[in-house]
Amino acid sequence: MTSTHGSPAAPTAAPVLEFRDLRVDFRLSGSTVHAVRGVNLSVAAGETLAVVGESGSGKSATALSALRLNPEPPCVYAGGEILLDGRDVLGLSERQLRRVRGAEISMVFQDPMTSLDPLQRVGHQITEVLRLHGDHTRAEARSAALTALDEVGVPDPERRFRQYPHELSGGLRQRVMIASALVARPRVLIADEPTTALDVTVQRQILDLLVRLQHRHGMAVVLITHDLGVVAETADRVAVMRHGEVVETGDVEQVFARPAAPYTRRLLDATPRLEPVA
Ligand SMILES: Nc1ncnc2c1ncn2[C@@H]1O[C@H](COP(=O)(O)OP(=O)(O)OP(=O)(O)O)[C@@H](O)[C@H]1O
Ligand SMILES: [Mg+2]
């Protein structure tokens, strides 16, 4: 038995980001949802950790906590810590958090239309994180944004830079989101269902792109997905969540070959075909 059960997902290298006994509640009028109930997870540079589990199991609430992006209220961080190079992000001021967002930890979400501002040109949105951190001239920010657009495979970056989100296809918008997530060269990228809204061929292209960029930049990647085929192809380790807890973690191959938790077994049984693609 090589996969672990209920213990921290331990990468072999030193972790860049580590969730320790994280507890997240949503306090609603009359009731409290314990969305995250003592989650332990970690991810190292150059590593992809996939997080899977049924809807409502706390995947997004966990991920959003890394940048304190759950709406407060109703969210209350009820316990634990999230260490970025050993520093607890839950203890940072709003001002310190702004320096972490995008520059050290970036996020890509499912629907780029909700993350992109419809009234701002694409270029403005990509350079924003650089302007926010203040150490780039306008020309440097523009040049970094054009490089990022090129790197994520957006054809004719100069033209796209001047366009508005609605002028782009869904696949291009997601590439723009990834460009803006990567332009400041963060050490951690958290992608929450980054391809769910896209059609199958575009999904594949975006995932290939994420894998290539990760190898090039050595980022730590946390990939939240419902698609166990995607996990098999892209992730090093996997954490399975259920009811706000991690029920199993381990190397993808080991967990998929010999799942320890009954819930993981059920998840795998419900997935039609999982042979790695040659
Ligand atoms: N802003 C919020 N206000 C109130 N409850 C919330 C909020 N965000 C999440 N929750 C609750 O916390 C629990 C975990 O939700 P979360 O979004 O993390 O699930 P998930 O695993 O990401 O699901 P999915 O696969 O559907 O995206 C759910 O019960 C959800 O209803
Ligand atoms: Mg979610």
Residue 33 lies in a domain: no
Q: pLDDT for 55-74, tens place per residue?
A: 999 999 999 999 999 999 99
Residue 50 lies in a domain: no
Residue 4: which pLDDT band, with cuts at 50, 70 and 90?
very low
SS3 state at 140: helix
Q: pLDDT for 123-179, tens place per residue?
A: 999 998 888 877 889 999 999 999 999 988 899 999 999 999 999 998 899 889 999
Is the Cβ–Cβ distance between 198 and 227 less than 8 Å? no
The boundaries of the domain holding residue 171 are 118-185
What residues does 237 pair with on adjacent strands?
49, 251
Closest residue by CA, ligand 1 atom 17: 60
pLDDT of residue 2: 40
Q: Which residues line ligand 1 (CB under 6 A)?
A: 26, 33, 35, 53, 55-61, 71, 74
SS3 state at 225: coil
Residue 51 lies in a domain: no
Residue 158 lies in a domain: yes
Residue 249 lies in a domain: no
pTM of the model: 0.90
Structural domains counted in the chain: 1
- Nearest ligand atom owner, CA of 57: 1
- H-run or E-run covering 266: helix 262-269
Helices (H), the chain: 59-65, 94-100, 112-115, 122-133, 138-151, 157-161, 170-182, 200-217, 228-234, 252-257, 262-269
Of 28, 33, 246, best ligand 1 pocket probe by most atoms within 8 Å of the beta carbon: 33
What residues does 223 pair with on adjacent strands?
50, 191
In ligand 1, which atom is closest to the CA atom of 74?
A: 3
